[in-house]
Amino acid sequence: MPFKPISQKFTDFVIVRDDSRCINCEVCVRQCSYEAHYWDDTRQRVSFDSSKCTGCHRCAAQCPTSCLTIRRNPSEFRENAFWTPAFIKHIYKQSDTGGILLSGSGSPADKPVYWDNLQLDASQVTNPSIDPLREPMELRTYLGAKPDIAAFEETAGTFRLKGEMPPQIRLEYPLMFAAMSFGSINFNLHKAMAQAATELGIVYNTGEGGLHPSLYGYGANTIVQVASGRFGVHKDYLNAGAAVEIKVGQGAKPGIGGHLPGEKIDEEVSRTRMVPLGSDAISPAPHHDIYSIEDLLQLIYAIKEATRYRVPVSVKIAAVHNAPAIASGIVRAGADIVVIDGFRGGTGAAPTMIRDNVGIPIELALAAVDNRLRDEGIRNHASLVVSGGMRCSADVVKAIALGADAVYIGTAALVAVGCTLCGRCYTGKCPWGIATNEARLKKRQNPDVAARRLANLIRAWGHEIQEMLGGMGLNSIESLRGNRDKLRGIGLNQVELDILGVKHAGR
């Protein structure tokens, strides 16, 4: 038998230290939460263990002399197109531990990214473009059910809507911060999202971990979530936000529940989630009061009663093959917003095999759901929101052209505050102070600084969206929604083009 488990011999990353520049200051020792760097008493210098490196790059970023470089391990297995190194390493690890493989972040699986095969169609002469610097460009949108017919009355030259509109969420940008629960990320990040959302005139989602009491003041810019574990759910919580979201499924782990390890449940998380300190918080796969659309209808209207019909109710599902039929049932059950989460959605913890092999791309699910609701004549009865893999403003514009009213961003928001997608969120040792509740580590995130970075990101994307709208000859985001004639496919087969509802480039 080898002296060490074979999995430790074939590490993903290697640490390269330039000894001529290293001053043994031990900054890397203090910065690495995975203990890949350590002080060697025998040699009286800093040393390292590459088998513990996750590729987060925290040490290299903080090194005062720039003596550290993190590289992919150059040691390679024999070439085999079927037995790739990832599968071999997975087997080594599972034969060591006897446990399931866990992963954080989104799926890195090499599968088609349809955003990259869609091009926006620009205006030229007969339909001239619009200059967003000199002409008004409307990014504001409203989420919620819309009436079939809008009746107006005129009084002294002013038009007013007759009757009452269903409750709406007003967004100054077609963007929202996605559901990331208190516990999976820490309070500093929740506060940062709340501050940024308030400043921008958008909303953030609490995720399934409840709402910290100090954040109730941001309620007008908060969506509170009700998941299968019902963590932190009570009357005041339901009435604290601008909307309530029922989480049925999640793109990173369709068909299974959630699991927040006890190591991440400190006193504040315990109190907010209403679970014992240090105990695992496990969400069951199904809601044990929802086994049919009729059951979902009961919960939707129970929440509407509890909130006195003041706020819209949303239902979130994972992108799966029968999402259009499910979405139709959700709308007919009274939901005001339908959220679809694609398989590239991020997560704090998911079984690796589930994350990488279950669910479908959000682009296909979005187009199919939008088509189904339009065909049934109920598209205006609910808004459509998508999440799971929005990397840039162009992805957002393409999503809206495919039929979305707005999008959630989660991973992009975390990258904005320092995340390097090392995928070890479930350990609670996030070196960037994001997916951790350790006092020493979470101090690395200043909520005010993080809020400023989040606001900068949304504003930057907003400017780019206005530029793209102007280039298409449109002056409002509402004019783009479901306008698939503004999209053209490249390198897609006819089946894919038919599902997406777009023409191939050149047609």
Q: How far, in whole angstroms, is CA 482 from its chain's centroid?
A: 22
d(CA 142, CA 81): 49
Query: How many Cβ atoms are within 10 Å of 261's Cβ, its own excluded?
Result: 19
DSSP state of 329: H
Partners of residue 463 on adjacent β-strands: none
230: left (phi over 0), alpha (psi -120 to 50) or beta: left
- Nearest 5°: phi and psi at 151? -100, 140
26: left (phi over 0), alpha (psi -120 to 50) or beta: left
d(CA 256, CA 91): 23
Binding residues for [4Fe-4S] cluster: 22, 25, 28, 32, 53, 56, 59, 63
Encode pLDDT of 459-468 as tens digits: 999 999 999 9
| pLDDT band, very low/low/confident/very high, at 141 (cuts 50, 70, 90) | very high
Binding residues: 22, 25, 28, 32, 53, 56, 59, 63
- Please tell me the pTM assigned to this model: 0.93
Encode pLDDT of 211-223 as tens digits: 999 999 999 999 9
- Reduce the DSSP state of residue 7 to 3 states and report it: helix
Is the pLDDT at 7 greater than 80? The verdict is no
Q: How many angstroms separate the Cα of 315 from the Cα of each of 58, 92, 248, 399?
A: 37, 40, 7, 19
| pLDDT band, very low/low/confident/very high, at 162 (cuts 50, 70, 90) | confident
- Reduce the DSSP state of residue 282 to 3 states and report it: strand
Encode pLDDT of 384-423 as tens digits: 999 998 999 999 999 999 999 999 999 999 999 999 999 9
Name the helix (H) or strand (E) containing 177: strand 175-177
d(CA 332, CA 427): 41
d(CA 290, CA 247): 11
pLDDT for the residue numbered 323? 97
d(CA 89, CA 91): 5
User: 141-484: same fold as 6-99?
Assistant: no
The answer to whether the beta carbons of residues 504 and 492 sit under 8 Å apart is yes
Is the pLDDT at 4 greater than 70? The verdict is no
Q: What share of the chain is helix, strand, coil (3-state, %, to 5)?
A: 35, 20, 45
Is the pLDDT at 257 greater than 70? The verdict is yes
Is the pLDDT at 1 greater than 60? The verdict is no
61 CB contacts (<8 Å, ≥6 apart)?
none
Closest CA to 486 of 120, 9, 40: 120
The answer to whether the beta carbons of residues 172 and 140 sit under 8 Å apart is yes
| Domain residue limits, the chain | 6-99, 141-484
- CATH fold of 6-99 reads Alpha-Beta Plaits (3.30.70)
- CATH fold of 141-484 reads TIM Barrel (3.20.20)
